[in-house]
């Protein structure tokens, strides 16, 4: 392979590595915690997380985290390590698991980021569908009436309120990486 071809391949790889996280890298995860409702306290390493989106029901194990401000709770802009991959916590909040009585329909929804009263964002099964209720979801065992969209209109039961985080992977860059890249290209053409 010629030096030019090697340089093109190397530059292509650098462009891929330098690209920001794309939408499919973003994960919506729910903490698996038996008997506990929404709790933003950092779970112990080894805890399980259930992926809601983009690949529903994929399991992940927490292998590390940072508590940047030392308050003991998960906060936006902290980091979590899942299966050995470091990710940035973009958002944390409650996940509401709704079930429609008499039908085998379940929805995972979260409050919109704007916290508009009675407006929710469906995470699963139809990602990004807007859900509106007559009253806010406040606690487990509550019955809420969905007013829109029309296909979901009716009474729904709040089965569970879990802890949800939205993450994007971080790409750690070791000190001196750019120096190594420059040296690679200088040596390539010497």
Q: List, for residues 175-187, the tens digit of each pLDDT value.
A: 455 556 656 666 6
Burial of 87 (0-12, 13-18, 19+ CB in 10 A): buried
Average pLDDT over residues 161-176: 77
Compute the average pLDDT of residues 38-52. 93
- Asked if 46 and 61 touch (Cβ cutoff 8 Å), the reply is yes
Contact 48, 134 (CB under 8 A): no
Q: Give residue 159's pLDDT band: very low, low, confident or very high (50, 70, 90).
A: very high
Please give the mean pLDDT across all residues of the chain. Answer: 82
Contacts of 13 (CB under 8 A, 6+ apart): none
Task: Tell me the pLDDT tens digit for each residue of 111-151.
Answer: 876 556 688 989 999 998 999 999 899 889 999 999 999 99
By DSSP bridging, strand 143-148 and strand 130-133 are antiparallel
- The structural domains of the chain, with segments of one domain joined by +, span 22-169
Residue 37 has pLDDT above 50, yes or no: yes
Rounded Cα gap, residues 52 and 66, in angstroms: 23
């Amino acid at each position: 392979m010629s030096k030019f071809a090697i340089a093109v391949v190397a530059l292509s790889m650098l462009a891929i590595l330098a690209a920001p996280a794309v939408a499919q890298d973003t994960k919506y995860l729910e903490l698996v915690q038996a008997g506990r409702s929404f709790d933003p306290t950092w779970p112990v390493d080894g805890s399980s997380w259930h992926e809601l989106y983009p690949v529903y029901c994929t399991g992940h194990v927490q292998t590390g985290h940072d508590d940047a401000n030392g308050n003991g709770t998960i906060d936006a802009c902290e980091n979590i390590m899942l299966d050995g991959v470091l990710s940035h916590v973009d958002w944390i909040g409650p996940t509401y698991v709704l079930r429609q009585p008499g039908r085998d329909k379940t929805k995972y929804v979260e409050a919109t980021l704007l916290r508009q009263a009675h407006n929710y964002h469906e995470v699963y099964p139809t990602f990004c569908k807007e859900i509106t209720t007559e009253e806010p979801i406040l606690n487990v065992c509550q019955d809420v009436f969905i007013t829109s969209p029309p296909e979901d209109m009716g009474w729904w039961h709040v089965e569970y309120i879990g802890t949800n985080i939205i993450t994007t992977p971080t790409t750690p860059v070791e000190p001196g990486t750019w120096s190594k890249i420059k040296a690679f290209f200088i040596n390539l053409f010497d």
